């Protein structure tokens, strides 16, 4: 009998465990099934499970159950559970917004309005409760009520006025003026907010293709209004300068920076930094104006000498980057550089002056002998940094090429290569020597050196070396007749020596003498470069188009596509054609070294905000 009792007892335990297991399994799956039906918009099926889930955990399942009830059009039940939730916790004022949603669907306008007003009235103006109410209003597109909720929070906690939250709502309303002013209020409230405000405004205005990003005119207008009202508010002036720099309004940035420089007695530091930015953006006039302002402060100013030297450098860049600088401009610049050289001869600041003066004499004034003497004396100075000396030796070698003294150039390049064998400048010198061999017609040696440099640490040198190797391989890889390549190489030397007319004539002769040569893309590309340097943009455009039409898969296919885009962008000022040409780089040459820059310029022209 005892034995049978144990068996019965064990049987009962097993049955109870199984019953418990069966009871739990559906419960464990109810949440998954409920959510699955909810996602599939089968709300009535979902509600069969949500009801039980809600009964066991009202806080956890209320929102899903509420939305599912609305989906099933069971408005009475949705209202009922919402009121139940409110009784359990009156601080959850956002539930009044949910009630308003129920009434709105049923077109009960008075009840709806009362519910929204009750949400504001019952709102406990501390951040978590306030955020819930505002988010509920925003979810239903009730932006003005959300603003009203934050107004209540602003009154309750003036130390945290909810500028950023309100700005985000105005952005969703597409009220850009109000959004901008919220951010500017934040800046006036606390100066330290400037970077946060700048970042938020850039991100918020970046979607506007026509006037987007930091270029939105409303932003500058509102800033200027505030500065007129509060001229002593430094953070506003700082922000306007930031905007002007972003817009490349360097004249405006100079005016504001000068005012701050005087007010804060900064002694030119702000203006000096602005001058560098202007220079990097090739705005020579604005850069010169900045340097002149510092120079006017007199020789006791910390930046006086640097402003003189950098100011002359700006003049050098402005004149030499013109397509056809006049003899008068070049002569006046030479005189100014020589005066500066005399004044700063014993100063470490003189390096830039020498470099510009030597380059001007050699490459623009046909005074190669003077340039060589001046630069050689400078290089021979004791105590010069080895790397700096190497840079000047390369420049000296370039000038000797201009004069046709190839051996002297090769000797200088070899010295730099030997002294800096594993560094970028040594590889640059090695490549220059390889080009000299190319010009001289020693193609086997030139290719050997170029092949070594394919693995150069500097990407530009590696790419140039690869191009040189491929030019040689393509031209004489199959045909043992290297005469077309010899003519082309000698024409390339003429280009380096600025003998452009002779170079073009020689290149044209290649096609006349050797109709089956493989240098078509090389010749067109070289001629395009010559025409661009002379300001003959229509001719350059034609050369690039020739490459894209007849030699799109050859060595200079991607180069031509990118350069054509740059031509439209920077020289012909045809932004639509430029945008299309940059896009063609990405589409037709996805593996090109130009893809990163092409993508950046394409996005800029399209109006994207690159700070996002």
| In the chain, domain spans | 476-606
Q: Which residue has the higher pLDDT, 214 or 596?
A: 596
User: Whole-model pTM?
Assistant: 0.73
Helix axis angle, 443-453 to 424-440, nearest 10°: 160
The contacts of residue 257 (CB under 8 Å, 6+ apart) are 241, 270, 271, 274
pLDDT score recorded for residue 28: 57
- As a whole number of angstroms, the distance between CA 576 and CA 449 comes to 42
- As a whole number of angstroms, the distance between CA 546 and CA 564 comes to 11
Q: Strand, helix or coil at 336?
A: helix
pLDDT score recorded for residue 215: 62
pLDDT score recorded for residue 477: 67
Sign of CA dihedral 555, 558, 561, 567: negative
- As a whole number of angstroms, the distance between CA 583 and CA 266 comes to 45
pLDDT score recorded for residue 2: 39
pLDDT score recorded for residue 323: 77
pLDDT score recorded for residue 21: 33
> Is the pLDDT score of 347 beyond 90?
no
> Measured between alpha carbons, how far apart are the two ends of the chain, in Å?
82
For residue 246, name the pLDDT band (cuts at 50, 70, 90): confident
pLDDT score recorded for residue 206: 62
Nearest to 184 by CA among 128, 251, 229: 229
- As a whole number of angstroms, the distance between CA 237 and CA 263 comes to 11
Residues 136 and 97 sit within 8 Å (Cβ to Cβ)? yes
Q: What is the DSSP string of 133-162?
A: HHHHHHHTT-HHHHHHHHHHHHHH-TTS--
For residue 17, name the pLDDT band (cuts at 50, 70, 90): very low
For residue 593, name the pLDDT band (cuts at 50, 70, 90): confident
pLDDT score recorded for residue 183: 93
- Chain centroid, CA 279 distance in Å: 18
Q: What is the DSSP string of 201-218?
A: HHHHHTT-TTT-GGG-HH
- As a whole number of angstroms, the distance between CA 423 and CA 430 comes to 11
Q: Give the pLDDT confidence of 59-94 residue by residue, as tens digits.
A: 889 999 999 999 999 999 999 999 999 998 888 899
Q: How many CB atoms lie within 10 A of CB 251?
A: 13
- As a whole number of angstroms, the distance between CA 255 and CA 263 comes to 12
Where is average pLDDT lowest: 95-99, 325-329, 471-475?
471-475
| Mean pLDDT of the region 11-17 | 37
For 583, the token pair is 């896009």
- As a whole number of angstroms, the distance between CA 53 and CA 62 comes to 9
pLDDT score recorded for residue 607: 76
> Is the pLDDT score of 20 beyond 50?
no
Q: Give the pLDDT confidence of 271-310 residue by residue, as tens digits.
A: 999 999 999 999 999 999 999 999 999 999 999 999 999 9
pLDDT score recorded for residue 93: 92
Where is average pLDDT lowest: 35-49, 198-212, 375-389, 596-610?
198-212
- Chain centroid, CA 82 distance in Å: 49
pLDDT score recorded for residue 81: 92
In CATH, the number for domain 476-606 is 1.25.40.10
The phi and psi torsions of 324 (rounded to 5 degrees) equal -140, 75
Nearest to 521 by CA among 583, 588, 471: 471
What percent of the chain clears pLDDT 70, i.e. is strictly above it? 92
- As a whole number of angstroms, the distance between CA 404 and CA 308 comes to 35
pLDDT score recorded for residue 275: 97
pLDDT score recorded for residue 35: 92
pLDDT score recorded for residue 164: 94
pLDDT score recorded for residue 214: 59
The full length of the chain comes to 612
> Is the pLDDT score of 479 beyond 90?
no
pLDDT score recorded for residue 349: 84
> Is the pLDDT score of 45 beyond 70?
yes
pLDDT score recorded for residue 213: 47
Sign of CA dihedral 274, 275, 281, 283: positive
| Mean pLDDT of the region 494-499 | 93
For 494, the token pair is 């003429």
Q: What is the DSSP string of 457-519?
A: SSHHHHHHHHHHHHHHHHHHSS----HHHHHHHHHHHHHHTT-HHHHHHHHHHHHHH-TT-S-
Q: Give the pLDDT confidence of 367-420 residue by residue, as tens digits.
A: 999 999 999 999 888 788 899 999 999 999 999 999 999 999 999 999 999 999
């Amino acid at each position: 009998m005892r034995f049978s009792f144990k068996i019965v007892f064990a049987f009962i335990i097993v049955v109870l465990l199984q019953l418990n297991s069966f009871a739990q399994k559906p419960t464990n799956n109810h949440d998954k099934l409920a959510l699955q039906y909810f996602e599939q918009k089968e709300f009535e099926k979902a509600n069969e499970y949500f009801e039980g889930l809600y009964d066991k955990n009202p806080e956890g399942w209320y929102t899903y159950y509420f939305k599912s009830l609305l989906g099933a059009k069971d408005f009475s039940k949705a209202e009922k559970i919402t009121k139940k939730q409110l009784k359990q916790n009156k601080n959850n004022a956002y539930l009044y917004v949910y009630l308003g949603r129920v009434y709105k669907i049923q077109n009960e306008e008075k009840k709806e309005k009362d519910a929204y007003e009750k949400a504001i009235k019952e709102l406990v103006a501390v951040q978590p409760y306030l955020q819930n109410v505002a988010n509920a209003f925003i979810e239903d597109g009730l932006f003005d009520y959300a603003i009203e909720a934050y107004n209540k929070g602003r009154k309750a906690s003036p130390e945290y006025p909810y500028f950023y939250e309100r700005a985000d709502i105005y952005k969703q309303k597409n009220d850009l003026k109000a959004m901008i002013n919220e951010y500017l209020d934040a800046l006036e409230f606390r100066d330290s907010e400037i970077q946060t405000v700048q970042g938020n405004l850039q991100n918020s205005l970046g979607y506007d293709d026509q006037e987007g990003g930091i270029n939105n005119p409303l932003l500058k207008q509102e800033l200027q209004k505030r500065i007129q009202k509060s001229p002593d508010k430094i953070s506003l002036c700082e922000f306007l300068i930031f905007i002007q720099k972003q817009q490349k309004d360097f004249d405006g940035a100079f005016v504001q920076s000068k005012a701050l420089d005087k007010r804060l007695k900064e002694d030119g530091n702000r203006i000096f930094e602005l001058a560098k930015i202007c220079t990097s953006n090739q705005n020579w006039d604005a850069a010169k104006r900045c340097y002149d302002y510092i120079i006017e402060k007199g020789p006791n100013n910390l930046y006086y000498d640097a402003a003189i030297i950098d100011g002359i450098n700006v003049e050098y860049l402005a004149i030499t980057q013109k397509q056809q600088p006049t003899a008068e401009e070049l002569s006046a610049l030479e005189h100014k550089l020589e005066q500066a050289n005399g004044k700063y001869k014993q100063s470490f600041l003189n390096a830039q002056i020498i470099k510009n003066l030597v380059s001007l004499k050699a490459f623009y004034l046909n005074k190669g002998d003077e340039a060589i003497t001046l630069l050689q004396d400078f290089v021979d100075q004791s105590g010069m940094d080895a790397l700096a000396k190497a840079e000047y030796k390369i420049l000296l070698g370039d000038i000797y090429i201009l004069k046709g003294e190839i051996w002297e150039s090769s000797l200088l390049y070899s010295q730099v290569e030997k002294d800096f064998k594993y560094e970028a400048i040594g590889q640059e010198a090695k490549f220059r020597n390889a080009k000299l061999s190319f010009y001289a017609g020693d193609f086997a040696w030139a290719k050997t050196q170029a092949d070594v440099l394919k693995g150069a640490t500097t990407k530009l040198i590696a790419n140039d070396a690869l191009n040189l190797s491929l030019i040689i391989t393509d031209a004489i890889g199959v045909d043992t007749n290297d005469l077309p390549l010899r003519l082309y190489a000698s024409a390339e030397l003429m280009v380096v020596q600025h003998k452009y007319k002779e170079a073009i004539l020689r290149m044209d002769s290649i096609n006349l003498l050797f109709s089956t040569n493989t240098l078509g893309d090389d010749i067109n590309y070289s001629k395009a470069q010559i025409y661009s340097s002379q300001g003959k943009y229509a001719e350059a455009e034609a050369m690039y188009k020739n490459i894209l039409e007849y030699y799109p898969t050859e060595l200079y296919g991607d180069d031509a596509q990118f350069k054509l885009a740059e031509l439209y962008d920077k020289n012909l000022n045809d932004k639509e054609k430029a945008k299309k040409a940059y896009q063609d780089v990405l589409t037709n040459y996805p593996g090109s070294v130009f893809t990163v820059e092409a993508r950046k310029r394409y996005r800029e022209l399209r109006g994207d905000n690159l700070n996002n």
